[in-house]
A = this chain, B = another copy of it.
Amino acid sequence: MTETQRLIRLLLNFRDDRDWDQFHNAKDLAVALNIESAELLELFLWKNPEEADKKRVAEELADVLAYALLIAEKYGLDVSEIVTEKVKRNGEKYPVNKARGSAKKYDEL
């Protein structure tokens, strides 16, 4: 088992011990992911970029990762495969010679 498969196993056990599968449809998992992402973002509100508290970042980021992993599991997606595939696609949208040093979106490059 890879690292993310092991984490997913842990999350599924946690869920099933509480009989929460009934709530975890894909749409609500995506809603939960957005809520946790916003809680992470709140740690940076009204602050300079690096002023967030590391301990709280760790906690909120863990929640984000947990829901992202549960969504991967729901769709039978392999984390390494989809991230690797996306990096390859982004490499085509953002070729080094055009994108270097620029924060523009690919359709504005």
- Mark A residues whose CB is within 8 Å of B: 2-4, 6-7, 10-11, 14, 17-20, 22-23, 25-28, 30-35, 37-50, 52, 54, 57-59, 61-66, 68-69, 71-72, 75, 77, 79-80, 82-87, 89-91, 94, 96, 99-103
Contacts and interface: CB of A to CB of B under 8 A. Distances in A.
Nearest to A1: B3
A45 B28 contact: yes
Contacts of A17: 96, 100
A7 B41 contact: no
Contacts of A25: 49-50
A32 B105 CA distance: 12
A47 to B, nearest CB: 7
